[in-house]
Structure 1
Amino acid sequence: MENVIAYSPFLMKGVTVTIALSVCSILLAVALGLLGAAGKLSERLWVQRIAGIYITIVRGIPDLVVMLLLYFGGQVLLNQIGALTGLWTYFELNQFVAGVIAIGFIFGAYMSETFRGAYMSIPVGMIEAGVSVGMTRITLFRRVIWPQLVRYALPGFTNNWLTLMKTTALVSVIGLEDIVYNGFAAGRATREPFTFMLIALFVYLVLTILSDTGLRALERRYTRGVQRGV
């Protein structure tokens, strides 16, 4: 217990990094997901194909492989570009930024399918009614499409968010000091790895419970007054 107390600031730093990484990654994933869904729903065939290739490739490659490729391969690519253009001599990709890009890129593909499915669940008559009363595209999206999109996407979004939080543990392999990395380092230093991994487990469990509770409350708010099927 003394070791846990002594390393508590170190562990809290890891918790902060994990939360920040999760939030930044989900924001990027949502942005890419909306773009991917718009691409899949586009009337232009080439746009559909680009979005389809992105979704298919990402969902077919292990998350760890994507992260390692982006972190190590991305640095090599950027340094080669710098050497060719003369714009910079050496570029080192920040571990936090690499983690956000990798996780956001991965879950952007899953979010694309979540948003596409949610959009297709919106009754066509609601959109047609908005058009018939003269709504502009922005007004139609803000007043009709977005509220319905959120309602239908929330269950899938919740699952993706909970999975994304657990996926952040992969950043420990590239040296980012998240709760897993710091917990393992503290366990190795004190020769109590089991104790500190239990703490990391507890942290993820608490974050999952809080997230699930909050998102389910949000889902109830958006589905208020909506009759559910039995």
Structure 2
Amino acid sequence: MLPDLRGYGWMLWEGLQLTLLVGLASLLLAILLGLLGAWAKLGASRIARGIAGTYTTVVRGVPELLLILLVFYGTPTLIQNTAARWGTPVYINLDPFVSGVLTLGFIYGAFATEVFRGAFLAVPPGQIEAARACGMSRHLTFRRIVLPQVWRFALPGLGNVWMVLIKATALISVIQLDELMRKTQIAVGATKLPFTFYFVASLMYLGITVASMLLQQRFEAMANRGVRRA
């Protein structure tokens, strides 16, 4: 039985749904940035390698909360002040959902970059050489030989990225997005029952984690079908 939620259970449920939506959208963006970053790091261009290396180093070295505040509060202020100096006043009001997704996706794209870089390096070079020897083009080799194995190697790391990312969604409550943590804070303020609501919220986050672990195990089992273990 759940504890008495004083009629605020529906708020937590709505917050949970928004948390999952933010998490999934951010993960999709992180995967796209991770693939792009890994391609840049493993490419021949020194400029691309430098940009990707700077991106992963800076983002992984700055706290997530600071980056969220910098994007949501700092960036509009910077743009408005700059425009005012040029005599063209503007007013920028960022959407909390879009800002949260873009910031989290940008942050965890740096971690996904390293996951995909390791996955690409784990593909045996001999298989790529064999595919080219059979007459496969670079595009066909990447699609049929490299990419399926990259996903298999990257799944454990991406699972860890998702676990950390979904917990980090609680940080975007500071920009007034009504996700689970924000809804919990509202309920606590109205009922004065901090332990009850924070405990229920923690169980919800734990439920997401457990469900994610089960799904990850299933995906890994599917990806490893037909792979012989040494």
Give TM-score, length-normalised by structure 1: 0.93
Matches within 5 A, 1:71-82: 71-80=72-81
- Equivalents in 2 of 1:17, 1:178: separation in Å? 5
Specify the alignment match of 2:11 in structure 1: 10
Deviation at 1:225, TM superposition (A): 2.3
Cα offset, 1:131, TM superposition: 1.5
How far apart, CA to CA, are the structure 2 residues paired with 1:126 and 1:84?
A: 58
Give 1:87 shift: 8.7
The question of 1:204 aligning with 2:210 is answered no
One-letter amino acid matched to 2:133: S
For the 8 Å contact 1:187–1:193, the answer to whether it is kept is: yes
Poorly superposed stretches of 4+, deviation over 4 Å: 80-88
Look up the match of 1:190: 191
What stretches of structure 2 of length at least 5 have no aligned partner?
Answer: none
Q: Is structure 2 residue 129 aligned with structure 1 residue 125?
A: no
- Pair 1:84–1:125, CA change in 2 (3 A): farther
Match of 2:36 in 1: 35
Q: Which amino acid aligns with 1:131?
A: R
Structure 1 unaligned regions, length at least 5: none
Whether contact under 8 Å (1:29, 1:104) holds in the other structure is yes
> Which shows bigger deviation, 183-192 or 75-84?
75-84
8 Å CA contact 1:3–1:190 kept in 2: the answer is no
Deviations 1:129-159 (A, max 9, x none): 1212222232222111111000100111111
- 1:148 is matched with 149
- Give CA deviations for 1:98-149 in whole Å, capped at 9, x if unaligned: 1111111110000000000000000001111121222223222211111100
Equivalent in the alignment of 1:158: 159
The Cα of 1:83 is off from its aligned counterpart by 5.2
SS in 1 for 2:91: coil
Please give the alpha-carbon distance, in whole angstroms, between the structure 1 residues aligned to 2:123 and 2:110.
21
Calculate percent identity across the aligned residue pairs: 41
Query: Are 1:107 and 2:105 counterparts?
Result: no
| 1:227 pairs with 2:228 | yes
Letter in structure 2 aligned against 1:104: G
Q: For 1:81 and 1:43, how far apart are their aligned partners in 2?
A: 37
Task: Confirm or deny: 8 A CA contact 1:82 1:90 kept in the other structure.
Answer: no
RMSD value, Cα: 1.9
Structure 2 contact 96–177 (Cα < 8 Å) conserved: yes
1:48 corresponding residue in structure 2: 49
Which amino acid in 2 is paired with 1:105? F
1:171 maps to 172
Q: Is the 8 A contact 2:41 2:53 kept in 1?
A: yes
Answer yes or no: is the 8 Å Cα contact 1:14–1:179 preserved in 2. Answer: yes
Q: CA deviation at 1:197?
A: 0.5
Give the length in aligned residue pairs.
229
2:99 is paired with a residue whose SS is helix
Contact 1:34 1:115 in 2 (8 A): yes
Contact 2:3 2:196 (C-alpha < 8 Å) held by counterparts: no
Give 1:5 deviation, angstroms. 5.3
Per the alignment, do residues 48 and 2 of structure 1 end up closer, same or farther by CA in structure 2, a change over 3 Å counting?
A: closer
CA 129–175 in structure 1, closer or farther in 2 if over 3 Å, else same: same
Contact persistence 1:29–1:108 (CA under 8 A)? yes
Superposition TM-score, scaled by structure 2 size: 0.93
CA distance in 2, matches of 1:86, 1:129: 63
* 2-structure distance, mates of 1:114, 1:41: 13
